[in-house]
Structures are given as structure tokens and as C-alpha cells.
Structure 1
Amino acid sequence: MAHVQSGDALGASYRLEEPLGSGAVGEVWRVSSASGGPDLAAKLLRPEHAQDPTLVERFVRERSVLLALRHPNIVAVRDLVVEGDRLAIVMDYVTGGSVRDLLESRLTLPAGEALALCAEVLDALASAHAGSATHRDIKPDNVLLAESWRPGLQGAVKVSDFGIASVIGERTRHTTGMVGTPQYMPPELLSQGEIGPAADIYATGIMLYELVAGRTPFAGAGTDFTLAYRHVTTLPPRLDLPEELWAALEKTLSKNPRERPGAAQAAAQFRRLAREFADLPALSRSVEPEDFQAVDRPATVLRGAPAEPEAGPTVVARTPESPQPELGPAGSRTIVRPMPRRDPARPVEPVEPENTASKWSAWLTRKVLVLGAVGLVLVVGLVFGIVLTLPQSSPAVGPRAADATATQQDVPLPSGLSVSRAASYDAAAGEVKLTITYSAQKAPLRGPFLEVLPGAAGSPACPPVTWENAAATRNKPSLSGVSANCGWSVDGVRIPAQGSVEVGATIPVALAGENALDEWLDAAAAATTEATADDSVEGSAYPVQRLRGIQVQTPARTVSQTALPVTLVPVWPSGPDVLGPLYKSPATGKPSEMLTAIAGGEKGVRFSDGCSGGLAVSSDGLVVTALAVAPSCVLRAVVGNFTDLASEPFGITTRE
């Protein structure tokens, strides 16, 4: 993803205003909306992670879950922008700061206030868990406040940053990576690489401890691995709190995730305790202990395991002396780093005691085996010698293809793109030279374009390709969403209106058969068409090839003498995508990359009156104003090669 700056467009609906902060996987910006209304916040995937398939896949996969998360204590996600390699979650802009800011100013909170605050966090988590989503990174930085905190304040807590939440199909999710913040990581993630909703309860307990004590329970000297390891092997230092309150806090910090309460249960208990201990004064900020008390045995029981585990070999957690990855200084920042997968210990086969009485029979058995093996070797050698003396015959293969040429032409696409391919085969060199000609009709077009260049028939290997006049990289399904074996993303192609551009490729491939080149070229074109027409693919990758239509959307009713809101919705093989509009009028900021690719930007957009004078269109054709009262109007539009677009009928009324 290119470097972003203030004033840049974010999709067709937003403009970046100012940066608000950054984390391990994203940068947060304040953004304005083209449709007006209050400012929003947008979390953009960091440029250095934009090429990480795992992070991008997680970011995109949670689209429907994020939009469905609606709770008074969750920062509402309003939109997801997926545009090229830029991905962003657009959410409400919360202005009261974070609980981290509150901690820095207050150092500690009275237990009653801390319990009330964490109860609202648990309310949010209960709602998310019911929707099969877990946060995975609860900490004061990700809990925002709608207004400045004060005793008795209710409804101000807003849990944010569900952008790195993990969608779970079961109660737990195995992982081979470490995503989270070391000070708040549950022990089961470190000891077993397993995480589930109980991890959020654990992190909330850590945050409650921090609000009361001014520090997290396992903070201290060492790397973040050292800190994280304490979650598995040591007990949280006891705080000077009433027994009932400490017991509730300690329960959320259980090493066994099965023993932690659910979010709703914990929220109810925290609220009751907040009322009972409302007059308890705040503690002084706790200091780091000189040493941590070790648990008798590191926890290995996992959520969902039987209450009474079957007898078997004990799983021992990694010891401090064991090899450990260097993860850097301990801190409270989210980390996304690889973790080695733990393989279950293989059971040791029991060794039978030696029977001295049977030594002689054992020797006889070994002697027979040795003699048998020698005999087998002699027989194999004899057979091999006979085979060598027989007349040799070559395996049956098809005739090697001779020098040949072939051509192929695609059907023109709705965007106005036409693709023709001309190939020549050099039998001596064993390579195909391919010339791809991209042509445009009414509007300029630009890449990236998908091209599938397979190996020889029957070969699963994808050949290397040398490109000319284009910058091409292997298609990455995790980024584009398009699955295409041996696919290439061809960029740097700019096709003028009613013009054409040629791109060259050299492919080392050994063809066999009389019509091998024609068959190879047809297979390449067919695979490209199939991939770009796949109706299971979502997202805006390869828009010139994948766009099937454009919908012109307006409100069902508008007021005269006002600008008419217009949204151009792209229609992909999977259907219309209202979450990723192509263009909005009136527009702010730069045009979207999709619009630039299929129409050359805003200059390729023109609206016109379909209401017999009921609409006025600006001189640049981009802003529409409702004029006269009319019961039924239609707005017409031209977008690049899409020249016959019209909205559904809408009405114009007087201002009330």
C-alpha cells in the first residue's frame, strides 16, 4: 500500500484528515465522509503488513462479523473499504480518550470504579462472543471512553479494535502464530497455542488488576517472552483487597481457561462487587515484586477438556532454560509474530526385559534373517543383469511439437477491454513467446490485469515467466481473493481510449503434440476468463476484467433545491457491492482506484437529467441538483464504457 497522507481519498466515500495513532497491524486516521455527518475513524492496515497474506486474510475475512457487531459498549463499525492493497475499517470516532490515558492521569482507580468500568467491557465481550467473535487483544489502549471518566458514569465505555478479532467456528481456535500483547496474553496461548473466548476474560482480569494496582500482575524485567512465560508458570501477586473481591479477580486469571467465568456472568458479579465496595479507597501504585511465586505445575488443561483427564504422559510446559525466541523488550504493544507449533510428545514404547534363556534361539533367528537377505540381494542382482542384456525400448511419448504459431481473441468485456493473444513456439529453445494486446473502447483503462500462464499439458508446475513492457508479479489469492493456478498480476499497463498496448512474455515450456501450442494458448485464455468470472470471489481486484455492471443509486425521495446524493455501486460476478462503492456524488478527495482503472477517474463520469428539466447538472457533469417538484424522476449516467445507466425512479418534494 502506498504511503498515505492527509487529503487522500479512502475509497469513494471518505477522505483522510489526520492520523490518530498506530498499532502492530494498523494506523488509525480521522476521516470525513463525502455524505456529510460527523467525522469517523478509519483503521488502515499498515504498509509493511499489506503483503502479509495471513494478516490480510484475517482483515478481509471478518467483514460480515465486524459489520454485525452492534452493542452500546462496542465502537460501531460503519464500513469496510477494500481497494487494491488498501484495506480499512471505518468506525465511530470516540473522543473521550482511552482507558490507557485514564491510567496515566490517575495511576490507580478505586476498586468500585475499576469493577464498574470492566463490567461494561464484559458486556461488550458477551455480545461479541454470542456472535462467534473474540477480541484477542483486550487492554486499556483498546478500551475507549465517550467522555471523561468520573465515578458513577455509565455507558461511556467503548471497546475498540475488533479489527484483529478472530472469527471462531468452535469455542476455541488453534493458532501457530502469536497475536496479542504479552502483558495480557492468556497462558493457554503460550503453552498450547490455543485461544478462545476465555482469553478475553483473562485479559479483562489483567486490565482490572492494572486499574486497581497501577501495573499488570506479571510485569517486570526481561523480554516479552519472559513476561509472557510468567502467565504460565507464576501466580499473580496478591493485592490488598477484600477476600471476596480478590477471589473474583483471581478467578478471571485462572491458568485453566475452563475455570474462568463467562463474560455475562463476570459482568454481573463485577457490578455487584462494585456496589458493595463503592467506598473502598484507591490503592497506592503497586511496585514490581522481587520474585514471583511459581505455580505447583504449569497449567495444561484446556477449555472443553474432560473434567477428569485420562491417565497419560504429562505435558510439561517450556522451561526458562529451554530454547526461546527473542521477542524483544517487554511492553504493552500488540505483537504479531510466528510461534513454533508444539507437537504432542510421542509415547515411549515400553522396552521388554531381555530373556537370557532365549539368546541361542535369538541368534538362530538373526542368522536366518542375514542369510535370507544375502539370498535376496543375489536374486535381485541376477534379474537386473538379465534386464540389462535385453533390447532397450524407449517409453512411448507423443511427438515433440515443432515450431508453430497461434492466435486467440477474447470476447470484449463490459468495461470495454478487449484482449488478443499471439504466440510462437521455438522447439529448439523449448519456449513460448507470447504477445498480449490490450485494447480499450470509449474510456481509458489501466491494470492490474490477471493472466494465467500454465505449464505444459499434464504438468502441475507453473513455469517462470519473463515479462516485457509491464511490471508483473504472481497473483496472491490472499490479497486479491482470486484463485488462479499459475496466475500473474500484470500492472503498469495504461490503455488510452480507443487505443491498445502490447505486453510481451517469454515462457519456458516443453510442448508435445501436433496442436500443442493452440491447446496451450486456449487453455491459458480459458483459465484467465474462468478466474475473473468466478462468482464466489468478493472484493475489487482486477476491476477492468471483473466488473459486470454499475448501479446508479439515489434516495427514494429528495428535496428540491438540494444536491442529489448519488452512489455508483459496482456489480461483480458475485453481485452488487454496496459496501465498496465506485463513486459518490457530491465527491470529496481523490477518485477511487477502481474508478481510475475503468474510466480514467472522474472525467469518465457524467450525469444527465432524465426528469424533463427536474434536475440540474453541473458543468463538469458530476453534481446533480433537484429543481422542480416531481413525483417520479430518473437520473441517467455514463461511466467509462458503461453508457446506458439509469437510476430507479425517485421523487422530488418541497422542503417541509
Structure 2
Amino acid sequence: MAQSRSGEALGASYRLVELIGTGAVGEVWRVSVAGAGETEGEAASGEAAAKLLKPEHADDSALVERFVRERSVLLSLRHPGIVRVRDLVVEGDRLAIVMDLVPGGSVGDLLARSGPLPARDALTLAAEVFDALSAAHARQVTHRDVKPDNVLLAEPWRPGLTGAVRVGDFGIASVVDEKLRQTTGLLGTPQYMSPELISQGRSGAAGDVYATGVMLYELLAGRTPFAGPGTDFTVAYRHVTSTPPRLDLPDDLWAALESLLSKDPAVRPSAADAASTVRSLAGAHAGLAALPAAVAPDGFADVERPATIVRGAAAGAVTPGTIPGGASSAPQTPAGADDAATATPPAEPLPDLGSAGSATIVRPLRRPVGAPASRPDTAEEARSGRRPAWLTNRTIALAAVGVVLVAALVVGLVWLLPSGEPEATPTAPHAATASQRDPALPTGLSITRDASYDPAEGTVALTLDYAAQSAPLTGPLLEVVPGVADGDGCPPVTWTGATATRNQPSVTGVTADCAWTLTGVDVPAGGQVEITATLPATFADGAALDAWLDGAAAATTEATTDETVTGTSYPAQRLLGVQVVTPSRTVSQTPLTVTLVPVWAGGPDELNPLYSSPSTGSPSQMLVDVAGGEAGVRFADGCAGALAVSSDGLVVTALSVAPSCVLRATVGNFTNLESSPFSITTRE
């Protein structure tokens, strides 16, 4: 059925050619590119790869909005080791990410054919993956599903090959995983999931480093460290509770691999440091032969520290560190694992997720991840009457000592405490800090908010860091600074770094309580500007400060994305896109009239264009705010030479007759823009 869709159009520039593969979130197609080879960087073959997300994603308005918002980030993610994202297509019930077609197969294919690699080749491949991740992490983009199948090769593999790694599928994680994190779900591949993703439901840059460490282990051993019998939940559970089996490697190489696979994300090196380390090890161990393919061990050694498990969504889910009923769990036994016999059964049975631990899964979590109903060895021991392996004599002795110490402590407290009700000792408020970051906006604007509470002064300092990507951005900018508690009035605020006035809805069209208009904010391309607001406040604890900061950010986003707002205020925060409008027909040997129309949350605004070409007079203030003026506008021929563009990129002339043309444009951070098709005819 899928192949019958070959030849279908995908947006205005692509056509489906061949189904390449399917995955957890959609299908990958080879597509032909209209007018390929005419723009720098396009494949001469005129082909690309398009990942079509499943149709249900198009029905999720929040995901579609995030899809559009992530477009500029993904299109600007440029590195030789990253599969280039060309375009994001939103068309009816289709969402698609169009990428370069990488012809050399995947590292997963390489492992299936060749098995373990020599240390030099395995380490070199890993170093190039770390290089790509480092570039992405520098732009605040994480992958969240690094595995051999997502690491492609630009040419067929041969021993000693370098510079061929292309890490793909950054866009899938950025777009889809946000929804899952908001619904107690997870995206990832069990054999490569980091411990913090299993135990806390979240993973960042350190999780990418961990997954690459798992892949390096697999490149050296031919198997992932925790692969073995059981479902994918069983495999995931081992990431949290077990240590990776030692490989027959030199001590320095094994130590580096252990650091990548550390259970504590804070202990793992950054991607940049990891790249440097494994690359130096590749040179030091260039003569080390490939290991024989490893087999699954008889059992996995437990980690020494207690493990935690993620909170489940069901009412009967076990909370980390507790057993239902309120009793504390023993520190050596993760709740919901070996305590399964004494813990209250969950409200819902564990879903059977199969045994495909190497496949990406996108699943809601109904109970703690990594808490199987029973461990195979525990069930067998129970039937045979033998003492469980974990219940050693040392464990029993330590438990007995613990019981004696607790009893002594209780007796001592009873003896020492005076009779009657103790007087409550007031707790002094403590200093606290909080941080929050918004996803990058389509204009390239990123906002980071840091709050620092000083209880001695009774003030909070709110630091706003505004950063720009490929185009300079200027104010005015909107920022909501609410009161601390519900019902509080808008607090007085002292600003430094910008001129601040209260937002006037009658002027800006934006209505929001406690909103400020910041002017004089000039953010250079690739740079950042810091603004500080100081206000009186009292917070009970750090959690209250976090909630206040999140509320301020949410109120600002709500105000700047309101679909009912009309007008051109705050374009750096409100502009979602740009339409390139041309006549449907023009005459050869004449200038082409082009209008750049801003697209807001409420739709395109043809009455207030960003720019018109040929231009007359000064550029609009909107264009200055989001692109630095005319310097941020460039037009390009999309009609095989039928259009001529002036040297400054601002004036387009129709040269020769053409039945169907498009004009390409770049406006600030908005790239790969195209007009609707138009025709060029002769004079009549």
C-alpha cells in the first residue's frame, strides 16, 4: 500500500519516490526535489530523504505548533557530522522533516555485517559522533535517541574510513519528545536509554553521551552492555541497577568507557571532552585487534548505590523510595523490584512491550519504568525455597545492626524530649535560585530567565538573557513580571540594561497583567544581551521561586502567542513566518514585484508587509527588528535561470518565458522561503 503512494507530491517542492523504512514515529521516503542542483548544498542527484510523521501527530495542535517553532533551530543546525535538515513540511495531515539523503548505510548495518570492530575504527566512529553531538549541544539541541541505526555513513564502510559519520534524526526527538515528556511518556531505545531517563523520565546532553558510550561498547563487543533475556522494560531496568560487564580491553580504554556509562550524569564527560579522549585512545591503541563477539553473561552485577524509579501515571504506581502504605523501602532494594512480594500490586498490569530492545519506542508509562513484576532469578528462588542471591549474611548482619541502632535512637529521643508540646522553632527563609529557558522562536530569539532570591534584602533579581541566531534582533520585547502570590498586585520593578515602561494594550494590542515593554535591546547575530529586573518579594522556599519563574515565562508566552492580537507589536517574539508573495503572472524583461508578508499567530497580515521589492523609501521597523533591515533580505532564482537577481539580492527581474517559476528568499532567521508558482510570459 505504501509503495502505491509513490509519485505523490509532498508540499510544493518534493515528490515521494520510494519507501526506505518505517519506525516508531513514521516512515522514511526517498523523495525527488523540484529544481534540485540549483542551490548551494543540494545533492546533484536531486534526491533527499523525508521522514513523514504518523498522521495522528498532525491532529495534535500543540505538536504542530512546536513543529513550526523548531523549524529555525533545525534548519540552522549545521555541522559536517550532522544530517542536514532541509525543510519541515506542514501540509494537511502530513508533517515531514526533509533531510539530505545519506547513501552509505548505517552503523547498525555495519555491525550486522561485520560484528565487533578494531579499537581504532570503533573509537574513531565514536569520536565523530561526539563531534556532532558537541555542535548540537552548543545550540541547546539534544538528540535523545542516539543508536547505530541513527548514525549514517556518507560512503560505504571500509577499515580506516574517517569523516563519513552523519548523525540523523535530531528533528524527531526535538519535535515529538516534548509532547511525551508532558504526558509521562518516553521516547528512546531501551538498550541505549540513560539511567536518568529511566529513573526520572528526563534526559539531556549527558544522556546523549551515555547512549554514545553504549554504542561504543557495542562497536567493541558486538552487543550492548545490558542486552539479554527479558522485555525491553527488563533491559531498561538494568541501566539503573546493573554495572556493564567488563570487556577484555586495556585499563585506560575501559576506564574511559566506564566514565561514559556512569550512572550519574554529572560524572560523565561532555561530548566535546569525550571526543578528545576517545580520539586520543584511537591513536594509542591503533594496533589493537577486534575482540571476539561477546555473549550475554549469566547475570548482571548490581550497582552499590540504591536505584530510584520514575513516578508512574497510575494511581497505584510506586513512589521512589517508598512502599505503598508509607513504610520506607530498604536502601538496597529498589521499590517495585525485589519487594514485589510485599508491595501493593499496581492498579494496572505492566504492558507487554515485547523484546525489541534495539527499536525506538514511543510509549506512555502506566507504572514505573524498570519495575518488572518479578525478576526471573527471584521467581525461581521463591519456587525452590532457596535464599535470594541478594540476601547475604552480610546483608542480614547489617540489617540487624541497623535495627539495634534505630531502636537505641528512638529510646534516646523519648528520654531526652521534655514532656508537653514542644514550641515550634520558626525557620528562617533561605536564599534560592531558579532557572528557565524558552525554546528558540522562529525569529531565532532565545530567552533564558534566572531568578535569585535574597531573603535578607527581601528582593528577587530576575536576569533575562536574550540571544539571537543568524540575524540581529531588536526590541521592543514583552516581559511579564507577576506578583508572588495569587491576588497580589503587580510589583514595582527596577530595570537595568533596557528602557522599560508598562505595556499599554491600547497601543500594542497585547493584553497581559503586569507586562512590561523593553526598548533599547539590540541583540547581535550569534550574540546575547542581559537585562536585569529587581523587585521586592518573599518566597517560602526554592520550589516557590521555581513556580513563580515558570509562571512569569508562561504568562509572557501566552501573551505573545495570542491569536486574537492584531498589529505589529513585539515582532521578535510574535512573528511565526514570512510569506513570499508575487503576481501569478509577470512579463519578461521587467522587474518582479515581491511582497514579504508577516505571519502572526492569527494568520498572515497583508496590510502591514515586512518589505516590498523593488523598494521605495526606508524598510519597515518590523524588518529592522527581526532581520536588521534590508541587509537581512536576500532573493534567489528558483526558476533555472529565468530570473535575475541584483548583486545586493534585493531586486528580481524576469528574464525569459517560463510556464512555472518560484522565487526563493531568506529573511533574517527565516530561510528556505519560497513563493507560490507564477508564470513568465512575453509582452502582448
TM-score, normalization by structure 2: 0.51
Shift of 1:176: 2.7
Q: Name the CA distance, whole Å, in 1 between partners of 2:676 and 2:129.
A: 47
Shift of 1:243: 1.1
Alignment correspondent of 2:155:
147
Q: Name the CA distance, whole Å, in 2 between partners of 1:198 and 1:565.
A: 51
Change in Cα spacing, 1:569 to 1:88, as seen in structure 2 (3 Å) is farther
Greater RCO between the two (CA within 8 Å, min separation 6)?
1
Q: Name the CA distance, whole Å, in 2 between partners of 1:46 and 1:153.
A: 36
Unaligned runs of 5+ in 2: 38-42, 311-327, 341-345, 370-409, 422-561, 612-626, 628-636, 641-651, 664-674
Alignment correspondent of 2:468:
none
Give per-residue Cα distances to partners, 1:369-404, cap 9 Å, x unaligned: xxxxxxxxxxxxxxxxxxxxxxxxxxxxxxxxxxxx
Pairing 1:263-342 to 2, within 5 Å after superposition:
263-299=271-307, 317-321=334-338, 322=340, 323=346, 325-331=350-356, 332-339=358-365
Change in Cα spacing, 1:79 to 1:566, as seen in structure 2 (3 Å) is farther
Letter of the structure 1 residue corresponding to residue 94 of structure 2: R
Change in Cα spacing, 1:151 to 1:279, as seen in structure 2 (3 Å) is same
Alignment correspondent of 1:572:
599
Q: 1:123 aligns with which of 105, 126, 131?
A: 131
Alignment correspondent of 2:581:
550
Letter of the structure 2 residue corresponding to residue 158 of structure 1: R
Shift of 1:50: 3.2
Alignment correspondent of 1:158:
166
Change in Cα spacing, 1:284 to 1:58, as seen in structure 2 (3 Å) is farther
Letter of the structure 1 residue corresponding to residue 220 of structure 2: V
Q: Is the 8 A contact 2:350 2:367 kept in 1?
A: no
Q: Is the 8 A contact 1:175 1:194 kept in 2?
A: no
Change in Cα spacing, 1:76 to 1:614, as seen in structure 2 (3 Å) is closer
Letter of the structure 1 residue corresponding to residue 360 of structure 2: T
Q: Name the CA distance, whole Å, in 2 between partners of 1:616 and 1:249.
A: 62
Change in Cα spacing, 1:565 to 1:100, as seen in structure 2 (3 Å) is farther
Q: Is the 8 A contact 1:43 1:90 kept in 2?
A: yes
Q: Is the 8 A contact 1:256 1:301 kept in 2?
A: no
Give per-residue Cα distances to partners, 1:222-241, cap 9 Å, x unaligned: 11111100100011111111
Shift of 1:53: 5.3
In the alignment, does 2:267 pair up with 1:226?
no
Alignment correspondent of 2:7:
7
Q: 2:192 aligns with which of 184, 187, 193?
A: 184
Q: Name the CA distance, whole Å, in 2 between partners of 1:149 and 1:250.
A: 27
Pairing 1:483-498 to 2, within 5 Å after superposition:
none
Letter of the structure 2 residue corresponding to residue 550 of structure 1: V
Give per-residue Cα distances to partners, 1:352-385, cap 9 Å, x unaligned: 9699x99xx99xxxxxxxxxxxxxxxxxxxxxxx
Change in Cα spacing, 1:567 to 1:13, as seen in structure 2 (3 Å) is farther
Q: Is the 8 A contact 1:175 1:193 kept in 2?
A: no
In the alignment, does 2:564 pair up with 1:530?
yes
Letter of the structure 1 residue corresponding to residue 354 of structure 2: P
Alignment correspondent of 1:106:
114
Secondary structure in 2 aligned to 1:530? coil
Alignment correspondent of 2:95:
87
Letter of the structure 2 residue corresponding to residue 292 of structure 1: F
Change in Cα spacing, 1:17 to 1:537, as seen in structure 2 (3 Å) is farther
Alignment correspondent of 1:524:
none
In the alignment, does 2:657 pair up with 1:616?
yes
Change in Cα spacing, 1:319 to 1:553, as seen in structure 2 (3 Å) is farther
Q: Name the CA distance, whole Å, in 2 between partners of 1:272 and 1:135.
A: 25
In the alignment, does 2:193 pair up with 1:201?
no
Pairing 1:26-41 to 2, within 5 Å after superposition:
26-37=26-37, 38=43, 39-41=47-49
Q: Is the 8 A contact 1:111 1:282 kept in 2?
A: yes
Q: Name the CA distance, whole Å, in 1 between partners of 2:287 and 2:276.
A: 19
Q: Is the 8 A contact 1:174 1:194 kept in 2?
A: no
Secondary structure in 1 aligned to 2:305? coil
Give per-residue Cα distances to partners, 1:455-479, cap 9 Å, x unaligned: xxxxxxxxxxxxxxxxxxxxxxxxx
Secondary structure in 1 aligned to 2:81? coil
Change in Cα spacing, 1:286 to 1:624, as seen in structure 2 (3 Å) is closer
Secondary structure in 2 aligned to 1:195? coil
Change in Cα spacing, 1:273 to 1:548, as seen in structure 2 (3 Å) is closer
Secondary structure in 1 aligned to 2:227? coil
Alignment correspondent of 1:19:
19
Shift of 1:64: 1.6
Letter of the structure 2 residue corresponding to residue 91 of structure 1: M
Give per-residue Cα distances to partners, 1:420-447, cap 9 Å, x unaligned: xxxxxxxxxxxxxxxxxxxxxxxxxxxx
Q: Name the CA distance, whole Å, in 1 between partners of 2:597 and 2:185.
A: 36
Q: Name the CA distance, whole Å, in 2 between partners of 1:239 and 1:338.
A: 35
Q: Name the CA distance, whole Å, in 1 between partners of 2:117 and 2:149.
A: 16
Unaligned runs of 5+ in 1: 303-311, 344-349, 363-527, 541-546, 579-583, 588-609, 626-637, 648-656
Q: Name the CA distance, whole Å, in 2 between partners of 1:12 and 1:64.
A: 19
Secondary structure in 1 aligned to 2:5? coil
Letter of the structure 1 residue corresponding to residue 363 of structure 2: R
Shift of 1:46: 1.6
Alignment correspondent of 1:376:
none
Shift of 1:267: 0.6
Shift of 1:86: 1.5
Secondary structure in 2 aligned to 1:79? strand
Letter of the structure 1 residue corresponding to residue 186 of structure 2: M
Change in Cα spacing, 1:273 to 1:529, as seen in structure 2 (3 Å) is closer
Shift of 1:33: 1.3
Secondary structure in 1 aligned to 2:564? helix
Shift of 1:314: 9.0
Change in Cα spacing, 1:165 to 1:639, as seen in structure 2 (3 Å) is closer
Q: Is the 8 A contact 2:183 2:364 kept in 1?
A: no
Shift of 1:40: 1.1
Secondary structure in 2 aligned to 1:149? coil
Change in Cα spacing, 1:17 to 1:289, as seen in structure 2 (3 Å) is same
Q: Name the CA distance, whole Å, in 1 between partners of 2:579 and 2:281.
A: 59
Give per-residue Cα distances to partners, 1:482-540, cap 9 Å, x unaligned: xxxxxxxxxxxxxxxxxxxxxxxxxxxxxxxxxxxxxxxxxxxxxx9937989877779
Shift of 1:247: 0.9
Change in Cα spacing, 1:195 to 1:215, as seen in structure 2 (3 Å) is same
Q: Is the 8 A contact 1:549 1:572 kept in 2?
A: no
Secondary structure in 1 aligned to 2:214? helix
Q: Name the CA distance, whole Å, in 2 between partners of 1:222 and 1:624.
A: 55
Q: Name the CA distance, whole Å, in 2 between partners of 1:212 and 1:188.
A: 24
Q: Is the 8 A contact 1:33 1:40 kept in 2?
A: yes
Shift of 1:614: 5.6
Letter of the structure 1 residue corresponding to residue 201 of structure 2: G
Q: Is the 8 A contact 2:26 2:53 kept in 1?
A: yes
Secondary structure in 2 aligned to 1:241? coil
Q: Is the 8 A contact 1:75 1:158 kept in 2?
A: yes
In the alignment, does 2:268 pair up with 1:260?
yes
Q: Is the 8 A contact 1:19 1:30 kept in 2?
A: yes
Letter of the structure 2 residue corresponding to residue 325 of structure 1: L
> Which is greater in Rg?
1
Secondary structure in 2 aligned to 1:239? coil
Change in Cα spacing, 1:117 to 1:531, as seen in structure 2 (3 Å) is same
Alignment correspondent of 1:246:
254
Q: Name the CA distance, whole Å, in 2 between partners of 1:299 and 1:3.
A: 47
Shift of 1:244: 1.0
Q: Name the CA distance, whole Å, in 1 between partners of 2:247 and 2:64.
A: 41
Change in Cα spacing, 1:198 to 1:300, as seen in structure 2 (3 Å) is farther
Q: Name the CA distance, whole Å, in 1 between partners of 2:55 and 2:258.
A: 40
